[in-house]
Amino acid sequence: MVIPRTNIYFIGMGLCGLKSCSLQALKILKIADIIFVETYTNFISEGKPEFWNEIKQKLEPLSRKDLEENDHLFLEKIEGKIIALLIPGDPFIATTHNSIRIAATKKGYKCRLIHNSSIISAASSISGLSSYSFGRTVTCPFRNNKSEFPYRIIQQNKSINAHTLVLLDINLVDDEFLSVDEAISILSDLEMEIHENVFKKSSIVIGLAKIGYNDEFISAGSMDKVANSFNWRKIGPPQALIVCADTFHFAEKEALSVLWGVNTQK
């Protein structure tokens, strides 16, 4: 494989941290002078891949402040070097990373993107729901930052018969994450306050945890069923929630029935 001279490679780690990096990414990591690891948009598996010893001396963690407030210092390190920036999921799903690419390009640096899986696409794949049937993605914040916004996005999506992928808030500084059962509780409380029949008892939801890992967990059905299945298992991050539309394509109905035992005819 001939790798063209590039200043900075934005490398997606996929769903499972370094262990899910592609072979293409591995070859780039071996030739990189510095490997930065973005550490704030998602939890990264602590498991070490087989090539760990070949790259560990080149690894440097990057915080949100490093990329958003001190990006000029980051860009200064690119000069004359091959830089790899490891990012959870697919690199430019988060806007922060795209802003770094734009800033680097403006300075004349050559950038290259190495794709990988993201929960944005994996949620559709693992659930059996059509990717064409999803509307806008939204993040549900922790209860102390409660907002109507996720409720309104679910409402907008349901108005066009679209499913909603709800990403769940994380706080990597304090090692905290919003769980599926707590997110369901927050959305249920919003329904009780707003009373616009969006997040109903009959709503079908799908809870997702640790997708791509050996111990991934999926629960689908009523919000009470899914919340209970997550509550007693005490599953770790990352987690996400799908709030389904009120009607389904016939292929989705079959997938939900066969894969998860969900009856959509109620």
Task: Read off the pLDDT of residues 212-232 as tens digits, 9 standing for 90 and up.
Answer: 988 999 999 999 999 999 987
2 within some domain: no
Least confident window among 78-82, 114-118, 134-138, 181-185: 78-82
Rg from Cα positions in the chain: 20
Helix (H, G, I), strand (E, B) or coil at 65: helix
266 within some domain: no
Q: What is the pLDDT of residue 166?
A: 97
Range of the domain at 140: 119-260
CATH number at residue 72: 3.40.1010.10
Whether residue 146 contacts residue 118, with contact meaning beta carbons closer than 8 Å, is answered with: no
Task: Read off the pLDDT of residues 242-264 as tens digits, 9 standing for 90 and up.
Answer: 999 989 999 999 999 999 999 88
3 within some domain: no
The token pair at 177 is: 């994450």
Domain end (from 59, 81, 114)? 114
Q: Are residues 124 and 254 in the same domain?
A: yes
Domain end (from 114, 129, 160)? 114
**By percentage, how much of the chain surpasses pLDDT 70?**
88
68 within some domain: yes
**Whether pLDDT at 135 is above 90:** yes
Helix H, strand E, coil C: the string for 3-32 is: CCCCCEEEEECECCHHHHCCHHHHHHHHHC
Q: What is the pLDDT of residue 5?
A: 54
Length of the chain: 266
Q: What is the pLDDT of residue 4?
A: 44
Residue 187 confidence class, pLDDT cut points 50, 70, 90? very high
Q: Are residues 73 and 153 in the same domain?
A: no
- For 210-239, give one letter per residue: b (16+ CB within 10 A) or e: bbbbeeebbbbbbbeebbebbeeeebebbb
| Average pLDDT for 178-193 | 96
Q: Which of 10-19, 35-44, 88-97, 221-230 has the highest mean pLDDT?
A: 221-230
What are the two backbone dihedrals, phi and then psi, of residue 21, each rounded to the nearest 5 degrees? -65, 145
Which residues, other chains included, contact 103 with Cβ-Cβ below 8 Å and sequence gap of 6+? 71, 75
Concatenating the DSSP letter of every residue in 200-236 gives -TT-EEEEEESTTSTT-EEEEEEHHHHHHHHHHHT--
Domain end (from 67, 84, 114)? 114
